[in-house]
Chain A
């Protein structure tokens, strides 16, 4: 049984459901935009605060989006059916991860556009920002997929998700903000690329390995 076919099937299923229902992108995107707006008002909308506001809004929107896929499986009673198909459960992890990464990239792109408009932020250093965004998305997607599967068995799961996700992803927030500031000012990024890469490696290695244990509850 080809793993790539199983991964693609799960990702396609999640993305189709999201495209038809828009029940992750719309609420998470609206929430992220609201956070951006509030931070803009508090900080006075200066360009200096723009990187922090962007990454905080992306992270908070990611909490909502990551939990949505697992919630959907629970609501439709399909979680067990999915787990009982033959084949490695790591494939399910990678399928979910892929779909979540696409959703997170859409959210991040939308929030970046909103940030440029709201904060009148400079658009130079876009290459650095795109690379940082891709790396951050890979790690956030892995952390979100693993933690959403973990809290799916818990009654207070929606409450637990941000409590686990936000502390675990602080390195992404810090690295994202510092890299964005460095890109805007043209200063060297220092060790922050390394922080992002280590975070990604950690969750991309640990995530699939722990997924099977976690989904069995």
Chain B
């Protein structure tokens, strides 16, 4: 039977040769909520996000996004979720406009949305400049525009605040709030608790690939420790 919650993992594990990056992780993210993933470097946060995004296959256990198995139904998962990793993943040789047009073509979205999204990201003045002339923050904003274009039901964010100013942080918040309002779910991994605090509804703490605690009850404690 398919899980009803947007993100569910069951005894999820991932090994890289002898290195165990994730083991026995069981999580559930409910509709309209944002889960904050906490943990020191190397605790498995990015690996968990990449498994959910179908960028990595789990070596143990299972995971479902919107009820679809991330291994056997990866193509369905990719239709419903968007992943923003630590790298902006934009083409430096293309303009901002061309980058978002590429995303529109690949996602089957109309191109008229592109200019609107670049305006939303505050990049309309530089839309026709090559991305190699953009700052790190501008590249991150471009990546946010690309993610917004996808209108995902599940949003996976890995250190989304890196390189962003206050306006950029507001864009991340808007993106997260939009997904939650549409009844989707967000999983956000960050060390920047000050900026994440207002967005998250639940917290999960990872250490050495294991889940230490999860749920809203841990929120106050974990965030206050941060």
Question: Cα distance A70–B37 when bound, in Å?
Answer: 32
Give every chain A residue within 8 A of B85 (Cβ-Cβ). 80-81
Residue among B54, B82, B93, B94 having the largest count of chain A Cβ atoms under 10 Å: B93
Residues facing A in B182-225 (CB within 8 A) are none
Q: How far is the CB of B173 from chain A (nearest CB, A)?
A: 22
Q: Are B89 and A87 in contact (CB under 8 A)?
A: no
A-B contact count (CB 8 A): 71
* Residue interface mask B119-138, A partner, CB < 8 A = 1: 00000000000100000000
**Nearest CB in chain A to that of B101: its residue:** A9
Q: Are A216 and B108 in contact (CB under 8 A)?
A: no
Q: Are A16 and B93 in contact (CB under 8 A)?
A: yes
Q: A84-B55, A88-B75 are in contact. Are A9 and B102 (CB under 8 A)?
A: yes
**Nearest CB in chain B to that of A18: its residue:** B93
Question: Cα distance A82–B102 when bound, in Å?
Answer: 10
**Nearest CB in chain A to that of B98: its residue:** A16
Question: Cα distance A97–B75 when bound, in Å?
Answer: 21
Question: Cα distance A21–B93 when bound, in Å?
Answer: 8
Question: Cα distance A13–B87 when bound, in Å?
Answer: 19
Q: A83-B55, A84-B53, A84-B54 are in contact. Are A78 and B90 (CB under 8 A)?
A: yes
Give every chain A residue within 8 A of B107 (Cβ-Cβ). 1, 85-87
Q: Are B94 and A16 in contact (CB under 8 A)?
A: yes
* Residue interface mask A8-50, B partner, CB < 8 A = 1: 1110010011001100000000000000000000000000000
Q: Are B78 and A86 in contact (CB under 8 A)?
A: yes
* Residue interface mask B90-119, A partner, CB < 8 A = 1: 111110001001110111100000000000
Find A85's partner among B57, B92, B106 (CB 8 Å cutoff).
B106
Q: A5-B105, A9-B102, A86-B79 are in contact. Are A76 and B54 (CB under 8 A)?
A: no
Question: Cα distance A188–B91 when bound, in Å?
Answer: 49
Interface size on A, residues (CB 8 A): 25
Interface status of A155 (Cβ within 8 A of chain B): no
Q: How far is the CB of B16 from chain A (nearest CB, A)?
A: 11
Interface status of B161 (Cβ within 8 A of chain A): no
Give every chain B residue within 8 A of A17 (Cβ-Cβ). 91, 93-94
Q: Are A13 and B57 in contact (CB under 8 A)?
A: no
Q: A84-B53, A84-B55 are in contact. Are A77 and B87 (CB under 8 A)?
A: yes
**Nearest CB in chain B to that of A88: its residue:** B75
Q: Are A5 and B91 in contact (CB under 8 A)?
A: no
Give every chain A residue within 8 A of B54 (Cβ-Cβ). 84
**Nearest CB in chain A to that of B79: its residue:** A86
Q: How far is the CB of B130 from chain A (nearest CB, A)?
A: 8
Using a CB–CB cutoff of 8 Å, the interface residues on chain B facing chain A are 53-55, 57, 75, 78-79, 82-83, 85, 87-94, 98, 101-103, 105-108, 130, 146, 150
User: Can you name 9 A-B pairs with beta carbons within 8 Å?
Assistant: A9-B101, A10-B106, A16-B98, A76-B92, A77-B87, A77-B89, A84-B82, A87-B106, A87-B107
Using a CB–CB cutoff of 8 Å, the interface residues on chain A facing chain B are 1-2, 5-6, 8-10, 13, 16-17, 20-21, 76-78, 80-88, 216
